[in-house]
Amino acid sequence: MFRSIGHIVRLGRAARVLARHGGLITPEQLREAPLAARIGVTLLGAGPKPRAAKEGDALSAVSAALAELGPSWIKLGQFLATRPDIVGPERAEQLSELQDRLPPFPQKEAEARIEKALGRPVSELFAELGPPVAAASIAQVHKARTTDGRTVAVKVLRPGVKRRFQRDLESFYFAARAAERFHPPSRRLKPVEVVDTLAHSVRLEMDLRMEAAAMSEMAENMKNDREVRIPAVDWERTGEEVLTTEWIDGVPLADVEGLKRAGHDPARLADVVVQTFLKQLLRDGFFHADLHPGNLFVDTDGRLVLVDFGIMGRLSPYERRVWAEILHCFIVHDYRRNAEVHFEAGYVPPHQSMDEFAQALRAIGEPVLGRPAEEVSMGELLGRLFRTTERFDMATQPQLLMMQKTMVVVEGVGRMLNPKLDVWHAAEPVVRAWIGRHLGPAGRLEAATTQTGQAIARLPELLQNVADAARNLANEEHRRETKSTDSRARADWRIWLPLWLAAGALMALAIEQWW
């Protein structure tokens, strides 16, 4: 009871802060809310305010409100930027520009946290530890020089941030459970699962060893990509609350004029940004999900440098195959096959009409794909697709929404560098290579061979399981029957018949997959 009151008080305070800065609730969202929610919003004075005169004013209001509420709310805002199905496309667009900046905490406190996390005096680790050069909601970064003379970036977790996140996440769960209980239409959006995803992401982000591991994995994935560079991790100076990596001296990607003065070609870099993301997405299934310009630099050799690996996304091999085929079907205007892929993947429930869904896909694709190449957007195409979810009872797929939102950001970065960027042309070499590798005859043969090999490798285990189950059943029956010879013969027969039937079925499956 008292905990619920605490959650209500905290959420009410947040609503008032948001209202004071312009609010996050649109008139449309308020009209669709249940009566109790509308009354509560009105009493708290947290209803929608007149629209800001300028988009920048609205963004500043949102940023100021979330900064006042603290780190948890900044992260919630960044996370909701990937969920236009919840906050609406306009709010999601504003939130995607949200800057994660807070005042730094004191230098002495940072040094104390480094010593506690790494178990050694700062003087043994660093010959010099400079003041913070950047401060965000979860951590701040210092430029330092190691005792062996290397220049590094040292990321230090904010004091008390874990405890505050845990408290605020409990309030988010309280609000999500209330929404599912009292507002049935919201259940399609799975608000509790949304908070689960946020909580999981934040837990990973607050363990800086996981960020170091993500950097290491991506560096390994991209070691043969000569136009991309991932900073190396200094594992000796890295722990749960401290991350040390090589320092990058480069030009920020947002400084287009600076790139030109340094002799770099912005148009080439635009292609590299798009291709890098698609390689991560399709080839590796592990992508940087926060590719805004502040996390991208260009080094002296013209390589694209990625930093800040706190927010990452993954797609399974099956999801990659599905979405590569969906994109390919849009490109070739094959809307019927596109619909079939959605149904086969289970994204659209079987009770829906495939013909109507194919018609909806055509209505999505033709207006976008019919524009001049430099105006066509993959992110917009996917965004329109995901906005059809309610009409066809499609379950929300958080990892796919993260992919779509990252694609929007990547395209924005690309067009910042090259206003005439043809995203489809830039993506074509990566997509064509992946489709040829995985959806062509060679890819299908490899998939069948892999599945056959996996089935054969599991055959002894499966046979043993069948044998054990059959033997247990036979023993149980044997205890209930008399000890006559006929009973034992029947029991022996029941042991081996399922075993040989299972073996035959598995071999038939293996042969079918091979051919």
**Catalytic positions, written as ranges:** 290
Within 13 Å, how many C-alpha atoms sit on residue 9's CB side? 7
Q: What is the DSSP string of 368-418?
A: HHTS-GGG--HHHHHHHHHTTTTTTTPPP-HHHHHHHHHHHHHHHHHHHH-
Containing 313, the helix (H) or strand (E) segment is: strand 312-314
135 forms beta bridges with 140
Is the separation of the CB atoms in 423 and 274 below 8 Å? yes
CA proximity to 403, closest of 293, 325, 294, 291:
291
CA proximity to 495, closest of 475, 478, 470:
470
- Helix/strand/coil for 145: strand
Is the separation of the CB atoms in 383 and 89 below 8 Å? yes
Containing 155, the helix (H) or strand (E) segment is: strand 151-157
**Whole-angstrom distance, CA of residue 451 vs CA of residue 376:** 38
- CA dihedral of residues 334, 335, 340, 342 (deg, nearest 10): 120
Any alpha helices (H) in 103-245, and if so which ranges?
107-118, 122-125, 161-182, 191-205, 208-221
**Whole-angstrom distance, CA of residue 184 vs CA of residue 179:** 8
Any alpha helices (H) in 418-440, and if so which ranges?
423-438
Task: Tell me, rounded to whole angstroms, the distance of Cα 121 from its chain centroid.
Answer: 37
**Whole-angstrom distance, CA of residue 176 vs CA of residue 154:** 36
Containing 355, the helix (H) or strand (E) segment is: helix 354-369
Spell out the residues 6+ positions from residue 84 whose beta carbon is closer than 8 angstroms to its own. 91, 92, 93, 383, 386, 387, 401, 405
CA proximity to 277, closest of 265, 290, 288:
288
